[in-house]
Amino acid sequence: SCCSTIYELDQEVGRRLAHGEQPDITEKDLTLVQAGRRVSGWNRKRCENCGYETEEDFEYCPKCGTKL
Ligand SMILES: [Zn+2]
């Protein structure tokens, strides 16, 4: 849910899940179906001083110069 990537679960593992078991799901049980896109805003920085928001990797606020 965090990266919007969709995996297909191994059939056998899926069957055990459906029966109420809690099998260990490892990487080899997963087949990539759709690569997720980066969720916008996850790395957004906000200046505490003036409230300026940016997704750039600024170290200092371009508006007021406060360290982000
Ligand atoms: Zn600022």
Any residues with CB less than 8 A from the CB of 50 and at least 6 apart, and which? 61, 63, 64, 66
What's the pLDDT band for 1 if we cut at 50, 70, 90?
A: low
Output the CA 54–ligand 1 centroid distance in Å: 10
CA of 2 from ligand 1 middle (Å) equals: 29
Predicted confidence (pLDDT) per residue in 6-56, tens digit: 888 999 999 999 999 998 888 899 888 888 766 555 667 889 999 998 888
Cα(38) to centroid(ligand 1), Å: 25
Per domain, the residue ranges of the chain are 1-37, 42-68
For the chain, percent helix, then strand, then coil, each to nearest 5? 15, 20, 60
Which pLDDT belongs to residue 39? Answer: 56
* Predicted model pTM: 0.42
Please give the pLDDT value at position 27.
87
Q: How many whole angstroms from 67 Cα to the centroid of ligand 1?
A: 8
Element (H, E) at 13: helix 11-18
